[in-house]
Amino acid sequence: IDLGHKKIACIAGSMNTLSSINRLRGYTDTLQKNGLEVDKKLIKEGKLIYEDGYKLMKEFARKSSDGFTAVFCLNDLVALGAMRAIQEDSKSIPSDCSIVGFDNISLSSVSNPPLTTIAQPIKQIAQGAFRTIKRWKKQGLLKKEHRFWDTKLIARESCRELVDN
């Protein structure tokens, strides 16, 4: 959005996991906070795997009238699959379409181009899980709790600023 993108597609996971629900909510909330429309035609659901990123990006390509300039993928594997689909269609990343993933997996830094992604504080998450397990062992059954962690944008080469939007 800061680079001038107004129509941003999303390749989401199935809505039966809390992380997929929260990541999709982050996408829609961010669009709305920036005064952009949430267009349900620009959201596709699938499994959070490379193959579905590829397949769903191909579906977007068949409906090229949607006019999006960027794609947010709910994880990096999906983004890498989407990148392959874009490149197979003789399109360039980021010239023709910017793409952002989520998770900052090691492959994201060596993809072509290197993938812009959102990183989670894995060390903090692991420490929190360890503390919860220790409490569980001491106290027995614990109440269900949800924790949210600050994320960080890792800007690489898969996004570009739009000059004429």
Q: Which of 12, 17, 16, 14 is nearest to 28 (CA)?
A: 12
pLDDT value of position 9: 96
The structural domains of the chain, ordered by start, are: 8-121+150-154 (3.40.50.2300)
Whether this model's pTM surpasses 0.75: yes
In this structure, are residues 101 and 76 in contact, taking their beta carbons and an 8 Å threshold? yes
pLDDT digits (tens, 9 = 90+) for 102-123: 999 999 999 999 999 999 888 8
The pLDDT of 3-29, averaged and rounded, is 92
